[in-house]
Structure 1
Amino acid sequence: MLTGAIAGPVFTSPPVGSIVAAIQAVARAGAAGVLLIVKNYTGDRLNFGLALERARREGVDVEMVVIADDCAFTSPRKAGRRGICGTVLIHKIAGALAEEGKSLPEILRTVTLAASRMGTLGVSLSPCSVPGSGPTFQLAADELELGLGIHGEAGVRRDKMMSSDEVVKIMIDHMTDPASQSRVDVNSGDSVILVVNNLGGLSCLELQIVADSAVRLLEERGVMIERAVLGSFMTALEMSGVSLTIMKSSQEILKLYDHETAAPAWPRVPCIRVTGQTRCHPCPPESPLPEDPEPDAERVQVYVRVLGHVCRALLSLEEELNDLDRAAGDGDCGSTHARAAHAIEDWLSGGHLPSHPSRLLTALSQVLLEKMGGTSGALYSLFLTAAARPLQDDSSPPAWAAAMDAGIGAMKRYGGAEPGDRTMLDSLCAAGHALQPLRGPNCDVMRILSSAVQSAAAAAEDTRHMTAGAGRASYIGSSSLSRPDPGAVAAAAILKAVWEGLGGK
């Protein structure tokens, strides 16, 4: 993103000499030109401006862009709008343009336009304290401050504590107020990039709650959130606050935003479009799945019947699994599996099941990942994602045996458990071993499946005699674990329901 950054004292512009030294270092490294990205504060403008003039006198091609994205003041100030977290987006865009080999005038023109199409506003539950000094302003425990800068300045408005939804509504109303001369001009139908920035002292949970409020409110107003990112990008020491940055986007801006960067603090997450409730970005399969142009209706009916049996089995076991889980966990194993069952039922009611088995498992893995939650949701999703791969080009009985092995292998690799550790793997591994005859010629599929179901049930029952080696139960004394593992019981029940759905008695 940036080739260099110059640090000054806390909340103070760096000295001119340091800025000139940085410009010279970049120029000596072979740069065709140098762009100074400066936040709009008087000291920064003066020091960077003086450094620019000195560097130009020495023959360096230098330009400066001043970022002023603060939406706090509704009427203009002589000093202009402050530069705050939106500056980070300009860093990203300018860096991508430089990587593409654009000229300095081209970069300056693009980032100047981008900077004019964004706005930022901060809110905090507390002030911050410069090291060695007291708080920069006073704020009661039940108050919050709107419109702060990043140097500990007080804001433009003070309110009593309120919910995240209420705070975010006030922030976005303020940022987009048509009567404000500092507004960001965002309307229904516009596409934007959203940055939810931790001012230093918020927990990840609090930041995510604010992000959820912002996404929902913008979506309700018809704004299309093309990219959303949250983290600590521009902080104010330990200030317990958050800022929202909204930048109007275009295809060019999105391409530059998505450009890969080695900057260590830039989030390494997939680029996501949030609008339309698409909050998760499933990892694509390693190779393209076969097309499903004409779904096999008969095969889909089998899937619906099998999954229906699975859902009914899990719902009937909810209380039993919760009871088993209370001995070693938080007593929600049954509720988690029931949540999965309801999610699958909702999915089935949508009537859009793929008939290709690999596509089915991939889609089912995403349903469980998004809706089931907890460790179980991640493990089942991991199992199904891995199991889908051997079925991409083949759905014969040997391919299903390979799919079972692939799913079990992924759970072992990433979950850290092995057979004998008193987990769902005990049931699955027993069933996987019993399914190996599917790899042979002329096998009796239903007989082999029946054997696998019996092996899984027996393995689940045997977990009552095991010492937990993985999962939450491993922290509990083995003398307290005298009943079967709930995860193993659930896995065995699922396998039995699959067999019954296929016609087993």
Structure 2
Amino acid sequence: MSKHLINKQEDWARESIKGFIYSNNQNLIALEEYANVIARKDYLSLAESSSRVALISGGGSGHEPAHLSFVGYGMLTAVVCGDLFASPSTSAILAAIRLVGKNNKAGVLLIVKNYTGDRLNFGLAAKRAQLEGINVDWILVDDDVALQEDENQRDSSVGKRGICGTVLIHKIAGALAEQRKSLKEIKEILDFILKNGYLKTIGVSLSGRVPLPGEKNPSIYDPKIEIGLGIHGEAGRHKTDLTNSKNLVKYILDDYLFKTSEKEICLMINNLGGLSNLELGVLTNDCLDYLLEFKSDIKVNRVYTGTFMTSLNMNGFSITVLGLDQSNKELILNLLDAKTEAPGWPRNYGVDIKKFEYLKSSYGSSVKEQSLKKSEDFLKFSDVNLSNLFEFFLKTIAEDLIDLKDHLNMLDSVCGDGDCGNSLANISQKILQNLSENKFKFDQPHQVFLELSEIFENGGGSLCILLSLFMSSAAKAFSLKSLNTRRERDHYFWVELWKNALRMGLDAVEEYGRAKPGQRSIVDPLSALNNFLNDYLESYESKKMDTKGILKQIVDVVYNSAESTARMKPRVGRASYVDISLINSPDAGAMGISSIFTSIYKAYLQNE
């Protein structure tokens, strides 16, 4: 069964409307007798002034924010909402007309989407209101071009459907009403747009029709998408394969929306209810990129992206094109830009899209680039053998991490997303690439750490960001301000230097990662190493070892600490959400750290 937040289906629309009024009661009000009639609170003064045409629209519920959210100064005066995907009753529509039009000599304009139920109920209400002496007229919005291609092959007396383009009609009509245009003038401008085919919309569903409350979800997965659907859960005109967003956009724009020769347009990209904002952004980008590249002769004056008219929670979208005629282009743009207080109209929109421009600045320069300008402030290796050894260490680390990819993925899959090995392998491939391109300056250790920090920064995932933090912070340890370079040949000097780099990196990881020793993370082996080096330096004279000896002990300390994470209760990361009884292996990140020091020791032995 489909799942919806609902109490009783017969109360669904009414309760939703009431919730909307709760959060918008500063400017809107609902009728007591017909709670599905919502109007501006200042409806009475508007009517008594008899200087502004009242605008009414509406239709079935399930299209929110349409039409409720388009009531307000600069747009609609009132709306009438039906039950889910059902036209409102004639009596409710008539009540709305009486409310805003009985004392309004300027008249009432009904903006009606071209569906049979809406035409009949709004039409009958208009006739009854006219009998009561109320000046009422209407327009039918029929912007759905999906039905245009085969009108000659079918009975076209019903006409095309009204869909998201209706929202643009609301805005244009509302601005005209605020300018005190007459009912006749407003209708003439809207008729010019609609009857000349300047307003066109096409709808697309990525997952078929929407199951209504109580209906079963489709049991058979359909990989195809549907093109040319309405807003009431009905099927599209035909199905096609989805390859990617760019190809879909090209198909829709070429085959449906730009068959005629528009030179200037406004664009509305609408979420039909279930599309993520991430996807909506991609769709908008692809539409504009395509128009700018392949339809460069078309000027895009305005772009509106958001959720304007839905089909409950349909996973899909619609694209509306409003063609601008040179005879009234400036008027239409001014009307679209005019002030409105309707809660559903977007406060931000694209204007006069000619190309995509980035702000050119130096703010995006890397920390490494900024630091290299002050490279004289940092330690440089005077011994070329040391630089070469540093390079060999890094190459060995990268190669070994690539070999460990599957093992680390397996460890990570126990309580993570199973990609730790992939992340470190991808980073290692980038390191090897940079090595081949001589991007590291191995006589400048701070530069190497900053280069690594940038590589890890772009690796994705929390582990890579933590290691980027570690590298960036560790680089500070090589500042000449904190070093006594006269002791550069002293074994103690080098152990203390690398210990300080470790400590600075570890501090940053603990601060921003909020991990402490004993919580199953990379902090455990790094902290164990820090403690070992502290103890070593404190009793240096009695414990003094050669480089090979200290590296061997470091390998053991780090490995044992990493292995011990298998017995720790996770407190940070995704592992903290997993039942501890399911965790019986070490932390993948900790084992990755262990691998690094094992590789250093291996490389040192090979270089002896």
Query: TM class by shorter-chain length?
Result: 0.5 to 0.7
Match 1:170 to one of 251, 254, 259: 251
Q: What is the correspondence of 1:126-275 to structure 2 with a 5 Å cutoff?
A: 126=207, 127-134=209-216, 140-176=221-257, 178=259, 185-187=260-262, 190-219=263-292, 220-222=294-296, 223-249=298-324, 250-275=329-354
Q: SS in structure 2 opposite 1:9?
A: strand
Q: SS in structure 1 opposite 2:351?
A: coil
Counterpart-to-counterpart distance in 2, 1:275 and 1:333: 40
Counterpart-to-counterpart distance in 2, 1:311 and 1:229: 43
> Which runs of no fewer than 5 residues in structure 2 stay unpaired?
1-74, 375-438, 440-446, 474-502, 530-608
Structure 1 pair 162–55 and aligned structure 2 pair: CA distance change class (3 A): same
Counterpart-to-counterpart distance in 2, 1:327 and 1:257: 42
Q: SS in structure 2 opposite 1:229?
A: strand
Match 1:23 to one of 82, 97, 103: 97
1:412 counterpart residue number: none
Q: SS in structure 2 opposite 1:5?
A: strand
Q: SS in structure 1 opposite 2:226?
A: strand
Counterpart-to-counterpart distance in 2, 1:327 and 1:10: 44
Q: In the TM superposition, what is the alpha-carbon distance from 1:99 to its structure 2 partner?
A: 1.6
TM-score of the two chains, using structure 1 as the length reference: 0.57
Q: In the TM superposition, what is the alpha-carbon distance from 1:29 to its structure 2 partner?
A: 7.2
Residue type matched to 1:96 in 2? A
Match 2:370 to one of 306, 310, 313: 310
Q: SS in structure 2 opposite 1:195?
A: strand
Residue type matched to 1:233 in 2? F
1:58 and 2:132 aligned? yes
Structure 1 pair 109–325 and aligned structure 2 pair: CA distance change class (3 A): closer
Structure 1 pair 21–265 and aligned structure 2 pair: CA distance change class (3 A): same
Structure 1 pair 63–313 and aligned structure 2 pair: CA distance change class (3 A): farther
- Would the aligned equivalents of 1:325 and 1:333 in 2 still touch at CA under 8 Å? no
TM-score of the two chains, using structure 2 as the length reference: 0.48
Counterpart-to-counterpart distance in 1, 2:335 and 2:162: 21
- Would the aligned equivalents of 1:129 and 1:238 in 2 still touch at CA under 8 Å? no
- Would the aligned equivalents of 1:118 and 1:248 in 2 still touch at CA under 8 Å? yes
Further displaced range: 95-104 or 17-26: 95-104
Match 1:88 to one of 164, 167, 173: 167
Structure 1 pair 312–139 and aligned structure 2 pair: CA distance change class (3 A): farther
Structure 1 pair 5–466 and aligned structure 2 pair: CA distance change class (3 A): same
1:105 counterpart residue number: 184
Structure 1 pair 103–333 and aligned structure 2 pair: CA distance change class (3 A): farther
1:124 and 2:205 aligned? yes
> Which runs of no fewer than 5 residues in structure 1 stay unpaired?
179-184, 283-299, 337-421, 423-460, 484-505
Structure 1 pair 311–177 and aligned structure 2 pair: CA distance change class (3 A): same
Residue type matched to 1:217 in 2? Y
- Would the aligned equivalents of 2:223 and 2:241 in 1 still touch at CA under 8 Å? yes
Further displaced range: 214-223 or 37-46: 214-223
Residue type matched to 1:232 in 2? T
Q: What is the correspondence of 1:33-52 to structure 2 with a 5 Å cutoff?
A: 33-52=107-126
Q: In the TM superposition, what is the alpha-carbon distance from 1:17 to its structure 2 partner?
A: 0.3
Q: Deviations over 1:139-164 (max 9, x none)?
A: 74311111111111111111122211
- Would the aligned equivalents of 2:141 and 2:166 in 1 still touch at CA under 8 Å? yes
Counterpart-to-counterpart distance in 2, 1:271 and 1:31: 38
Residue type matched to 1:253 in 2? I
Counterpart-to-counterpart distance in 2, 1:335 and 1:465: 13
Q: In the TM superposition, what is the alpha-carbon distance from 1:331 to its structure 2 partner?
A: 3.2
Residue type matched to 2:215 in 1? S
Q: Deviations over 1:245-277 (max 9, x none)?
A: 011132211111111221112222155332322
2:453 counterpart residue number: 320
- Would the aligned equivalents of 1:467 and 1:478 in 2 still touch at CA under 8 Å? no
Q: SS in structure 2 opposite 1:79?
A: coil
- Two-structure CA RMSD over aligned residues (Å): 4.1
Structure 1 pair 226–269 and aligned structure 2 pair: CA distance change class (3 A): same
Structure 1 pair 254–324 and aligned structure 2 pair: CA distance change class (3 A): closer
Residue type matched to 2:129 in 1? A
Q: In the TM superposition, what is the alpha-carbon distance from 1:80 to its structure 2 partner?
A: 0.8
Q: Deviations over 1:249-306 (max 9, x none)?
A: 322111111112211122221553323225x8x9xxxxxxxxxxxxxxxxx9x99x9x
- Would the aligned equivalents of 2:368 and 2:451 in 1 still touch at CA under 8 Å? no
1:4 and 2:85 aligned? no
- Would the aligned equivalents of 1:186 and 1:248 in 2 still touch at CA under 8 Å? no
Match 1:331 to one of 443, 464, 478: 464
Q: SS in structure 1 opposite 2:112?
A: strand
Structure 1 pair 227–138 and aligned structure 2 pair: CA distance change class (3 A): farther
1:276 counterpart residue number: 355
Structure 1 pair 51–276 and aligned structure 2 pair: CA distance change class (3 A): same
Residue type matched to 2:354 in 1? T
Q: Deviations over 1:194-230 (max 9, x none)?
A: 1111111111111211211111122221222111121
Q: Deviations over 1:98-145 (max 9, x none)?
A: 12222111111112223331100011122102223346x897431111
Residue type matched to 1:194 in 2? L
Structure 1 pair 332–79 and aligned structure 2 pair: CA distance change class (3 A): same
- Would the aligned equivalents of 2:130 and 2:136 in 1 still touch at CA under 8 Å? yes
- Would the aligned equivalents of 1:468 and 1:478 in 2 still touch at CA under 8 Å? no
Aligned length: 332
Answer with 1 or 2: which has the greater Rg.
Answer: 2
Q: In the TM superposition, what is the alpha-carbon distance from 1:313 to its structure 2 partner?
A: 5.2
Counterpart-to-counterpart distance in 2, 1:81 and 1:163: 28
Q: In the TM superposition, what is the alpha-carbon distance from 1:46 to its structure 2 partner?
A: 1.2
